Structure 1
Amino acid sequence: MSTHDPLEEILNEFREGQFSTSLTSKQKLSLLKMLRKNKPAFAIGEEPLGKIRGHDIELYLDVERPYPPMPRRSPYPESLETMK
């Protein structure tokens, strides 16, 4: 009887990806699920997700927790049609 490890299954899809060693298995699984769900934002066409040579990026948050609230946008102005 084989054990089904969802992390290993998903990691196989991203075998060329590199992840921070500070991430827990649960955090990696959550990240990988998000990447898979939003694949069109992270891959071109049917290309697999993973490392693209020459396009390495490192993301660093420049704000410590607790994060500041998002700026509020002013309400959309009433249209001229409804003002008549």
Structure 2
Amino acid sequence: MPDWKLPFKLYIDACGEGLGAALHQTQIINDKPVEGPICFISRPIKPTEARYGARQMEFLCLVWALEKLHHYLIGTVLDVITYFNSVKSLLKMKTLNRHMLRWQIAIQEYRVNMTMAHKSGNIHKNLDGLSRWAMPNKPENPAWVPQDKHHIEGICVTDIGT
């Protein structure tokens, strides 16, 4: 269960096949800090997105992950970890194309509490499976789930005594 008072870590990865993100949080368990997953998300890229360069693809992944995980992240402290170091510079660019400008506007509500960190691609392996083998959410996919079936609008946290 997430602890809403603690910061979250959002790992993002994009490639020519898909986008992937993992939301983690470090909590104290048995007096030791332990980083564990909260959730994983992925999706295949769309045909128009296949034309994006690597920097744009990674920025797209950030925007997409923030939108999908909005219910976890709004108002929290967030560390974004990417293996593509230039995503940090994209957030500061003055001259942008229309996609990047729209994306910068889309993430403004997170920027106050968001930091960006670079992690080497050799170490950043936890998302390779999500981004490289993302399954489409279509009826022909055996794991297909209708979009509105599991849509989360709110989260209820209950503490059951031991």
Establish whether TM, by shorter chain, passes 0.5. Answer: no
Larger radius of gyration: 1
The structure with more helix, counted as a fraction of residues: 1
**TM-score scaled to structure 2, two decimals?**
0.21
**TM-score scaled to structure 1, two decimals?**
0.30
